[in-house]
Amino acid sequence: MDHTRKKLDDPSPPFYPQSMAVPSFYLYGEPHRAVPDDFVHTESLDDRSRPSEWTILPHAHADLVQVFVLASGGGTMQAEADSLRVAAPALLIVPAAIVHGFDWHPDSTGSVLTLSVRHLTRLDSLYPGLAAIFAHVAVLHPDAAAMTTVTSAMAALMRELGWAAPGHGAAVDAALLSILVEAMRAPGAATDDPAAAPGYHHALVARFRARIDERFRLREPMSSHAAALGTSESRLRTACAKVAALSPAAMLDQRAMLEVRRALLYTHLSVAEIGYAVGFADPAYFSRFFTRHEGCSPRAFRDARGTRPHPAGPAAPNVRRGVA
């Protein structure tokens, strides 16, 4: 009998300790709740940063993407396990569900755009390629003319979200499109692969990714995943190779490693507790699994980077503007 991997039917607590969870907010400091389909929000960078002494602790937004428009100053952006130095002028791209935080210089100025994934998806259906901007975290440096366009569009968007007038929705989308197009055109921005047209393989891999997110802690055999998706293991392997350039097993391990890195960085759980929470009953086997993927032991990974704090409760309420 193989005791190296824990297989359970229910990945909910106590199997997955609540203390492993990084806070997921609506907006920073505000309890998570359902996001309206057409949610759009803008605010000045210092609205939340100044009251927090210019430190935004690690957190995530489940159904929201963000663009930070940094006009002056800079600091450090924490994105999952990476620390990125940022300096103005810049656009900071934050996809949904990514753990992120900031240490800003006190002289930093700028603005923040937040919109729902569903609103982004609607815009992408009209103008394909916009959603690809948020394929990964990015620090972009558009040229001066592009930054002027973005800054003007952000000012127009803030103004438009503060009132209701004829053509309100069209004006909001027009400002959004100006910002997103400049982000798309900036050097280093993620773009759609022209050869990656939607089709069977992409749809299958999208369903597989969704299943992985729900069940990666169970460490189920690949035959179970293929059966649940209504396909064969060989077809699943082919689709993953074409779309993700990875095997299904590698994609499963990649998702588990993401969760493990988060737990090592943002919680005080022991290595054994973290391993158990992602499906490994044997701590030694879990340590070998982590070392094989990361090149160092879980303890060495944590010691080299330190455990980072995260917000314990909601911040003071802020006035919010949004599309109703």
pLDDT, tens digit, for every residue of 188-209?
A: 887 654 444 446 777 788 889 9
pLDDT reported for residue 59: 85
Q: Which are the contacts of 230, defined by CB distance < 8 A and separation ≥ 6?
A: none
- Residue 207: partners with Cβ closer than 8 Å, 6 or more residues away: 229
Average the pLDDT over each of 6-20, 88-102, 285-299 and give the range with the smallest value: 6-20
Average pLDDT on 222-231 reads 91
pLDDT above 60 (res 84): yes
Q: What is the pLDDT of residue 323?
A: 38
48-78: pLDDT as tens digits? 889 889 998 888 887 889 999 999 999 999 9
| Mean of all residue pLDDT scores within the chain | 83
Average pLDDT over residues 210-233: 91
Please give the Cα distance from 21 to 240 (Å, whole number): 28
Distance separating alpha carbons of residues 171 and 182, to the nearest angstrom: 17
For residue 196, the model assigns a pLDDT of 40
The predicted structure's pLDDT at residue 277: 93
Q: What is the mean pLDDT of residues 101-124?
A: 93
Residue with token string 């095997």: 247
> pTM for the whole thing?
0.65
The structure tokens listed for 142 are: 């558009």
Beta bridge partners of 31: 25
Of 1-15, 143-157, 182-196, minimum mean pLDDT range: 1-15
Does an H or E element contain 113, and which?
strand 109-116
Strands 109-116 and 90-94: unpaired
Do 148 and 198 meet the contact criterion of CB atoms below 8 Å apart? Answer: no
Q: Tokens at residue 275, please? A: 């391993």
Q: How far apart are CA 67 and CA 84, in angstroms?
A: 15
22 confidence band (pLDDT: 50, 70, 90) = low
- The pLDDT value given to residue 143: 94
The answer to whether residue 175 scores a pLDDT higher than 90 is yes
Answer whether residue 9 shows pLDDT above 60: no
The CATH homologous superfamily to which domain 34-185 belongs is: Regulatory protein AraC (2.60.120.280)
- The answer to whether 106 and 128 are in contact (CB under 8 A) is no
Q: Cα(92)–Cα(222) distance, rounded to whole angstroms?
A: 37
Residues 282-299: b if buried by 16+ CB within 10 A, e if exposed: bbeebbebbeeebeeebe
Residue 97 or 142, more confident: 142
Tokens 């973290």, residue located:
274
Residue 129, pLDDT > 50, answer yes
Q: Which residue has the higher pLDDT, 188 or 2?
A: 188
- Residue pair 308/78 in contact by the 8 Å Cβ criterion: yes
For residues 109 and 75, give the distance between their C-alpha atoms in angstroms, rounded to a whole number: 11
As a residue count, the chain comes to: 324
Is residue 115 within 8 Å of residue 78, measured between CB atoms? no
Predicted confidence (pLDDT) at residue 141 exceeds the cutoff of 80: yes
User: What is the C-alpha to C-alpha distance for residues 193 and 32, in angstroms, rounded to an integer?
Assistant: 33
Tell me whether the omega of the peptide bond preceding residue 14 falls within 30 degrees of 0, making it cis: yes
Provide the 10 A C-beta neighbour count for residue 224: 13
Res. 27 pLDDT band, cuts 50 70 90: low
CB atoms within 10 A of CB 323: 20
d(C-alpha 270, C-alpha 272), whole Å = 5
Q: What is the pLDDT of residue 310?
A: 53
Q: What is the domain partition of the chain in residue ranges?
A: 34-185
pLDDT over 70 for what percent of the chain?
Answer: 81
Helix H segments across 216-297? 222-228, 233-244, 248-266, 271-277, 283-294
DSSP 88: S
Containing 166, the helix (H) or strand (E) segment is none
Look at residue 29 in the predicted model and tell me its pLDDT: 63
Q: Give the amino acid at 282.
A: D
